[in-house]
């Protein structure tokens, strides 16, 4: 099964911009990569849009471009030609496009230097971004396996919790870089508060630890991107200062072992 030029371009974007998700996609069946690479490439393009300029208005316009593209997909209007939008349009139904619009809207926080309003705002950001991309991937793959995933059901909730935890782990890794850019990434940056946040996320996903293995094979690939989540959050619980120190990481050998266990 070969990739066309658009899918190849999406894969290249993910390989360069998101090594963990690229590894997760490459550990998945080829058919699943056709879903994962456009979604992950979209996520990269949206995530980096606020950082390509120092002008908030231009950053807003970049994000609006993606919202307009998703609106076209949802309405099934004439869809713009683009190496990411084109393959993305072949995957998304109106509900999935609307879910991804929430992801783009949440990224407006990245444009400005104000802190999150409160803990609820921070959690909503991770739910709309990290959990959102995992949920859409699971939903699209599920549709192709005759597995219905609907908001509010047990499967949706379990995947949402795992997506949030995965987003939290990655966000904590990015804290030093965000602070270097003059941002205030955490509502409460005290070590004890960070450890508690990581512990709560771990506790929420432990009941779903075997979730991946209970799903149809074609749908499991949506969850593979979480292969480092528990390992990273456990580090934070044991040593929350690793967040500020920029040492929250997994060794290459351990990373390979974790991916093998999840794939």
Helix, strand, coil percentages (3-state) for the chain, rounded to 5, are 75, 0, 25
pLDDT digits (tens, 9 = 90+) for 35-63: 999 999 999 999 999 999 889 999 999 99
Provide the residue count of the chain: 263
State the helix-helix crossing angle for 30-48 and 56-75, rounded to 10 degrees: 140
pLDDT digits (tens, 9 = 90+) for 160-200: 999 999 999 999 999 999 999 999 999 999 999 999 999 99
Question: So what's the pLDDT on residue 216?
Answer: 76
The number of beta carbons lying within 10 Å of the beta carbon of residue 204 is: 16
Q: Would you state the structure tokens that stand for residue 218, as one six-digit string?
A: 């074609």
* In the predicted structure, residue 263 carries a pLDDT above the cut 80: no
Model confidence band, residue 147 (pLDDT cutoffs 50, 70, 90):
confident
Q: Would you state the structure tokens that stand for residue 36, as one six-digit string?
A: 């994962």
Bigger pLDDT: 152 or 55? 55
The number of beta carbons lying within 10 Å of the beta carbon of residue 156 is: 17
Task: Determine the Cα–Cα distance for residues 118 and 103; give it in Å rounded to an integer.
Answer: 19
Answer left, alpha or beta for residue 109, where phi above 0 means left and psi between -120 and 50 means alpha. alpha
The single residue listed with the structure tokens 């989540």 is 229
DSSP 232-251: HHHHHHH-THHHHHT-----
Domains of the chain, residue spans? 1-112, 122-263
Task: Determine the Cα–Cα distance for residues 40 and 18; give it in Å rounded to an integer.
Answer: 8
Model confidence band, residue 150 (pLDDT cutoffs 50, 70, 90):
confident
* In the predicted structure, residue 1 carries a pLDDT above the cut 90: no
Lowest mean pLDDT among 86-90, 98-102, 174-178, 216-220: 216-220
Model confidence band, residue 231 (pLDDT cutoffs 50, 70, 90):
very high
Instruction: Judge contact between 202 and 233, C-beta under 8 A.
Output: yes
Question: So what's the pLDDT on residue 221?
Answer: 93
Question: So what's the pLDDT on residue 80?
Answer: 87
Question: So what's the pLDDT on residue 149?
Answer: 81
pLDDT digits (tens, 9 = 90+) for 212-225: 777 777 788 999 99
Instruction: Judge contact between 56 and 111, C-beta under 8 A.
Output: yes
Residues ≥6 apart with Cβ < 8 Å to 206 = none
Question: So what's the pLDDT on residue 2?
Answer: 64
* Average pLDDT value for residue range 220-233: 95
């Amino acid at each position: 099964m070969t990739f066309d030029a658009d899918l190849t371009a999406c894969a290249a974007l993910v390989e360069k911009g998101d090594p963990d998700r690229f590894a997760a996609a490459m550990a998945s069946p080829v058919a699943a990569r056709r879903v994962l690479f456009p979604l992950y490439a979209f996520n990269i393009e949206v995530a980096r849009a606020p950082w390509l300029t120092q002008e908030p208005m231009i950053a807003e316009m970049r994000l609006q471009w993606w919202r307009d593209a998703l609106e076209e997909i949802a309405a099934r209007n004439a869809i713009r030609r683009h190496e990411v939008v084109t393959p993305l349009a072949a995957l998304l139904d109106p509900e999935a496009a609307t879910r991804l619009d929430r992801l783009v809207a949440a990224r407006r926080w990245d444009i400005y230097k104000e802190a999150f309003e409160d803990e609820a705002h921070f959690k909503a950001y991770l739910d709309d971004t990290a959990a959102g991309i995992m949920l859409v991937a699971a939903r699209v793959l599920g549709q192709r396996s005759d597995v219905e995933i609907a908001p509010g059901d047990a499967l949706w909730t379990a995947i949402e919790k795992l997506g949030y935890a995965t987003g939290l782990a990655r966000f904590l890794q990015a804290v030093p870089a965000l602070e270097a850019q003059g941002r205030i990434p955490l509502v409460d940056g005290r070590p004890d508060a960070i450890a508690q946040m990581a512990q709560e996320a771990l506790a929420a996903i432990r009941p779903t630890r075997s979730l991946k293995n209970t799903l149809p094979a074609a749908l499991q690939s949506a969850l593979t991107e979480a292969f480092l989540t528990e390992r990273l959050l456990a580090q934070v619980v044991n040593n929350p200062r690793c967040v500020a120190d920029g040492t929250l990481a997994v060794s290459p050998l351990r990373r390979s072992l974790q991916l093998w266990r999840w794939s």
